[in-house]
Amino acid sequence: MNRFIVGLLLMGLSHLIYAQQPNFKYQREIKDVKQNWSKISIPNDLFKKLNPDFSDIRIYSFNDLDTIEVPYLLKIKDEEQSLESVSYTSLNESHDLANYFYTFQIEQHVPINEIKLTFNLANFDWLVQWQGSNDLLKWYNILDDYRILSIVNGTTDYQHTQLTFPTSQYKYYQLQIPSVVNPQFSNAEISLKKTQPAHFKPFKIQSWQVTLDKPNKETHVAVTLDEWVPVSYIKVFAHNEIAYSRNILIENQSDSIKTKEGWKPFYYYLSGGILNSSASNEFTFDGKLLKSFRITIQNKDNQPLQIDSIEVKGFEHEIWARFPDLKKNYILTYGNQNQMSPDYDLLNHPIEIPENVPAVALGTEKLRNTQHLSNSQALFKNPLTLWIILGLGIALLGGFSYLMLKNKP
């Protein structure tokens, strides 16, 4: 009798603890946790099952009477940049019959790798030369035939006047512009850009198709990916027999609207700019979960460009977690639209996080027993039910104690 009552109480307590576990659809075993701090790279096939803000990610260790939640940080490894402005003095401006020259003296002998030029001239297209010197006598080429241009008209307002070059350290610099008219130079911003590059992972393209919209003088490229993945980088490889500069728009279909002519797709803006023969034609944006997207190139009165290929990437997403007990087994759970983002102390104490941590692997995905969990949660969410169970437990223990005292000789 005694053991039976105690067993019932323990069973009820165990069931109550289990019922309080959050309701997630999926779980994966975390393998080979050998250090307290470890990281997990989120696999591509997992993204489509997560909430858009990743709020449903949790790491647990379960046993019969206890649940341990492991704190973690989500690291999206995008590019980190810092820009240090460099002071300079303009020494002189001169010109001959075919060129204009502008000389700058760096006030402190520091390295630079970027200069942004401003002109009062609206439209131009020049192949400039950028040189460095330490004595104003011998000049060394840094950039040759570097194209800068400005296009301002009724439909376009575009400037590409920034020179980016390998980090250099000279006392003097000279800009040479091949022009017979005054370029109307206004200002220069010289700086040193320090960049910690982003960590991208490539995404496989399932198919892509190019179509010409002759009435609107546009080229459309429809791209379909293998999986739903967080895209943040698209590069377009295009070529033409002559130099080109075309407006480009990158969108994804987010919905459809029913019209008299039928269902019309509605597109969401991702990125845009200028597709330029002298640029890398790389377009980056905040990560967006995509399965497909559309590229629109405005040809105007030009021949359509030859599209050779498309490259798609996304920032690496990692989970950095601190596992308190290396002897326990841990699982990654996810798939709950109602979960809010966790609030861990780690967010307020980043100094305690090491710079490098080992990677651990995930096991195969398993469905959790959400039906049983939901029924249990529905039962124990009722406060009256909890009070009844607690009252019964106290009554049983009290009665058992009374019987023991009564039967005591």
pLDDT in tens, 140-188: 999 999 999 999 998 889 999 999 999 999 999 999 999 999 999 999 9
pLDDT for 307-362, tens place per residue? 999 999 999 999 999 999 999 999 999 999 989 999 998 878 766 788 889 999 99
Would the pLDDT of 261 be above 70? Answer: yes
| Number of Cα atoms under 13 Å in the Cβ half of residue 347 | 6
> To the nearest whole number, what is the mean pLDDT of the chain?
87
Instruction: Return the bridge partners of 39, or none.
Output: 320, 359
Reference 272, options 294, 252, 249, 251; nearest CA is: 249
- Give the residue among 60, 61, 27 at the shortest CA–CA distance from 335: 27
Over residues 39-50, mean pLDDT = 94
Give the SS3 label for residue 357.
Answer: coil
Query: DSSP 3-state assignment of 246?
Result: strand
Q: What is the pTM of this model?
A: 0.62
Selection from 101, 89, 105 nearest residue 130 by Cα: 101
| Structural domains for the chain | 2-77+318-387 (no CATH), 81-196 (2.60.120.260), 200-315 (2.60.120.260)
Q: Give, in order, the Cα–Cα distances in Å from 134 to each of 30, 91, 167, 364.
A: 58, 14, 15, 62
pLDDT, tens digit (0-9, with 9 covering 90-100), for 268-302: 999 999 999 989 999 999 999 999 999 999 999 99
Rounded Cα distance, 73 and 319, in Å: 6
Is the Cβ–Cβ distance between 94 and 185 less than 8 Å? no
